[in-house]
Structure 1
Amino acid sequence: MDSIIRNTITIGLPTLMLFIAIAATGKTGEAAVWSGLVKVGGSFGMLIGLGVLVFVGFVANSFSYFVVDSLLVRFYQKRRELEQPEQLVIEIDKLPITNDLKIKLKWAVLHRNNQIISLKHVILKWFILAAILDALLSIAGYLGAFNLFFELSSHFKLQYLLAGLSIFIFFALVRSKKIWLLVSAFCIIINLAEIVPWYFPAPAFAGSTPGQNLRILHSNVLTSNRRYSDVISLVKAEKPDIAVFVEVSTSWVRELAVLSEMFPYYSSYQESDRFGSAIYSKLPLNNTSVKAFSKQRKSLLADVTVQGKIISLILVHPTVPIKHHSFIARNKQLTAIGEYAAQVKNPLIVLGDFNITMWSPFYKNMVKTGNLRNARSGFGILPTWPTFMPLAYIPIDHFLVSKEIGVFKIRTGRNVGSDHLPLITDLVI
């Protein structure tokens, strides 16, 4: 019986993942299986998809041993307190389970000292659970196109990497359970593969001088934030050519008005008291407009002329994908932004709080469709949110640029009281 349960779990979980992937493709027949494997593999392709399913089966098999054995051992340990061990042994002999599990159960009922589980055993079990969870979450992100919760799991690659390193070190030190050493190594490898490319190659415009650059500062100021002076002092200290803000409330509009001394050109859009957007510029703003890429959170557009070239700006702030309807709305908006960006003839900068990281399939589709690249490339992942929980930091604020625009430098600014860190970038036109 226990072997049937284990085999069901081992085969069932990867089969379920493949079934979900096939359903998402909308195809049938043999072609659906291959398309499903491609979906599971994400940007890495069909072979990696197959490898992911094999690995999920491997983890599921190990997890099934942990669950089935632990539950039955615990069950008989509890019964031992009320019944005679000899009677329980007779019962165990009659169970339709494997001999290995019968031996474990007999040991549990015949050795009372075994009732006190050692601290080392408890810690080992917790690290096994952590390894399983880290592996499943690391893999789930690649299925983000199918489900809100899968997509949310795609954003924490750095956290999964750090967890995998910790688990790997633990199992290396205790020198037991080599299977979990391999699981943690797998988590390290697949998350490193998503993080390391953001630090290489070196920026192509590293030899440029600051005087040739266009500096832009972006900040989600947070509607409830009242540290107006901190934001204003940051802008004065960084001396950007353009400063853009989202979550600008009516009170923020009043407080930021002092920036008109530095920036003679200004454009804003106030969708509600909470979710306004504003652009302050030292350069003339032309063709300013508001565009609805979706029914919620409209975007602010403008053109600026830099060294004789017209540069188009799009300031965006899609909805937060915490519910299914907002998840759908954000994804539709990102798709529309990518399609619009592909049609813009001028060099283009799309910036703002995107409420998505670079590892989401919806982000990847947007930048691919729009022929855009993230200014972070070569400078690191630069997490920006949430400032109130540094261990959960993820990069959801972005500068996306078209191929005509180079990046001299990009960095985060100091904490100004918001739940987001500002982003400052120097662009080469």
Structure 2
Amino acid sequence: MKRALNILFRAVAAIAVIGTLVPLLPAEVWYVRMFDFPRVQLFFMAVISLVMLNALGFKHRRRDKAELLILAATVIYQAVNIYPYTALAPVQTIKSERDPSDTTHLSILVSNVLMSNRAYDKLIGAIESYKPDVLLALETDSAWQEALREVTDAYPYRVEVPLANTYGMHLYSKLPLRQKKVSYILDNDIPSIKTYMQLRSGAWIEFRGVHPKPPVPTEEKSSSKRDAEIIIVGKEVVDSKYPVIVAGDFNDVAWSPTTKLFQEVSRLLDPRIGRGFYSTYHAQYPIFRWPLDHIFHSTHFKLVELQRLDNINSDHFPIYVQLSYEPDEKYEQVAPAPDEDTHEEAKETIEEGVEEALEEGKKPDTLTTK
């Protein structure tokens, strides 16, 4: 039995170590980039195997000591990556102390509904319970658009893009919208939304809704276009004259190099940092769960409330945030700062994505690589 357990936990250790090393490769192919996702799982695999192999008795050979050292390094490396998304880390978005009824408050509900999901009543129930000012629904087709009408009639401002390819996008707002634009940044059939939204205080903000394709064999063989679309949005919003919110299913985890680069480029804050993972995918399989749905914002906002909502029969949990617009206190929060390599990394990421799009015969809205 002891020998069998030793073999088992050596195998677990090997998976944890390999899974940690693979994403360090400078490659965008899906079978490399997929290892950006399960860092929490790899951390616990490394911790468990380290504890169990010690309990089972390491021999004092060089090989065993090397294995112990490599496993310990794996635990530390993964811990460093996930640490910002634990309650042990300092928060990035400060908690607002203003009155909850303040006219500067803005609530947003983001939900990837899973197009084939027909349990419309579950999302409708969440909308009725939380009454968000803004609803961003993803993977929505014409059937979802019609089914949600009983609640979305309360939202007079909207951008509706029903699609049957699982990349439909619907934005509903109780707040006035202007300059509504649907862009197809790097794919002719993958929309993103750009608009300006007026808060009850009268201030205008820029809102972006995104949902790039994931790097999986059935969608994209590499992460190049996903990464490029995310960074293109980041480069656009950093120059905005308005406060900014970017929300959606990034099909990328919060701790990935691309999302970190996005934050450096955009100078936007992540309200999860210092509070928890708020993992939204996969809703049906707890062991395979990570944060894919994001709401980033400029330093003009502080946090009132952040929640992952109940399962709506989708593969994603909805996520709900309430922010407070406090531009007079924006210097209290520190935006992620670009380093000396940020500009070059962003440029290369965009160039690779645009090149791949052109090779596929796509006509992207953006051909800029500046």
Q: TM-score, normalised by structure 1?
A: 0.69
| Aligned length in residues | 311
Deviation readout 1:121-160 (Å, 9 max, x if unpaired): 1221221222122112113223355543222101111101
Aligned residue for 1:376, secondary structure, equals: coil
- Quote the offset at 1:281 in angstroms: 1.3
Structure number, greater radius of gyration: 1
- Quote the offset at 1:338 in angstroms: 1.7
Which residue of 1 is the match for residue 43 of structure 2?
A: 161
Aligned residue for 1:286, secondary structure, equals: strand
Aligned residue for 1:331, secondary structure, equals: helix
Q: 1:257 to 1:144 in 2, by over 3 A?
A: farther
Kept after mapping to 1: 8 A contact 2:191/2:210: yes
Q: 1:379 to 1:272 in 2, by over 3 A?
A: same
Deviation readout 1:349-379 (Å, 9 max, x if unpaired): 1100110012222222222212222221222
1:229-248 mapped onto 2 (5 Å cutoff) = 229-248=121-140
1:304 equivalent to 2:194? Answer: no
Which residue of 2 is the match for residue 67 of structure 1?
A: none
Which residue of 2 is the match for residue 205 of structure 1?
A: 95
1:325-340 mapped onto 2 (5 Å cutoff) = 325=221, 327-340=223-236
Which residue of 1 is the match for residue 79 of structure 2?
A: 192
Which residue of 2 is the match for residue 357 of structure 1?
A: 253
1:171 equivalent to 2:65? Answer: no
1:252 equivalent to 2:144? Answer: yes
- Quote the offset at 1:271 in angstroms: 4.2
Counterpart of 1:132 (choices 6, 9, 14) is: 14
What CA distance in whole angstroms lies between the structure 2 residues aligned with 1:333 and 1:194? 23
Structure 2, gaps ≥5 residues long: 326-370
What CA distance in whole angstroms lies between the structure 1 residues aligned with 2:203 and 2:15? 51
1:6-405 mapped onto 2 (5 Å cutoff) = 119-143=1-25, 145-177=27-59, 179=65, 180-199=67-86, 200-202=89-91, 203-212=93-102, 213-272=105-164, 274-295=166-187, 296-306=189-199, 307-323=201-217, 324-325=220-221, 327-405=223-301
Aligned residue for 1:388, secondary structure, equals: coil
What CA distance in whole angstroms lies between the structure 1 residues aligned with 2:204 and 2:94? 22
Q: 1:252 to 1:282 in 2, by over 3 A?
A: same
- Quote the offset at 1:384 in angstroms: 0.6
Deviation readout 1:322-363 (Å, 9 max, x if unpaired): 145553321221222122122222111110011001222222
What CA distance in whole angstroms lies between the structure 2 residues aligned with 1:384 and 1:279? 19
Counterpart of 1:414 (choices 291, 310, 313) is: 310
> In terms of mean alpha carbon deviation, does 183-192 or 320-329 score higher?
320-329
What CA distance in whole angstroms lies between the structure 1 residues aligned with 2:99 and 2:26? 41
- Quote the offset at 1:169 in angstroms: 2.0
What CA distance in whole angstroms lies between the structure 1 residues aligned with 2:145 and 2:238? 32
Q: 1:207 to 1:185 in 2, by over 3 A?
A: farther
| RMSD, aligned α-carbons | 1.9
Kept after mapping to 2: 8 A contact 1:144/1:151: no
Query: What letter is aligned with 2:213?
Result: T
Query: What letter is aligned with 2:194?
Result: L
What CA distance in whole angstroms lies between the structure 2 residues aligned with 1:373 and 1:254? 34
What CA distance in whole angstroms lies between the structure 2 residues aligned with 1:301 and 1:166? 45
Identity of aligned residues (%): 26
Aligned residue for 1:287, secondary structure, equals: strand
Kept after mapping to 1: 8 A contact 2:140/2:163: no
Q: TM-score, normalised by structure 2?
A: 0.79
Aligned residue for 2:117, secondary structure, equals: coil
Kept after mapping to 2: 8 A contact 1:358/1:364: yes
Structure 1, gaps ≥5 residues long: 1-118
- Quote the offset at 1:206 in angstroms: 4.5
Higher RCO (Cα < 8 Å, 6 or more apart): 2
Q: 1:336 to 1:134 in 2, by over 3 A?
A: same
Which residue of 1 is the match for residue 329 of structure 2?
A: none
Query: What letter is aligned with 1:219?
Result: S
Kept after mapping to 2: 8 A contact 1:315/1:351: yes
Deviation readout 1:161-218 (Å, 9 max, x if unpaired): 1111211221232232463443332222111111122232145225344323211100
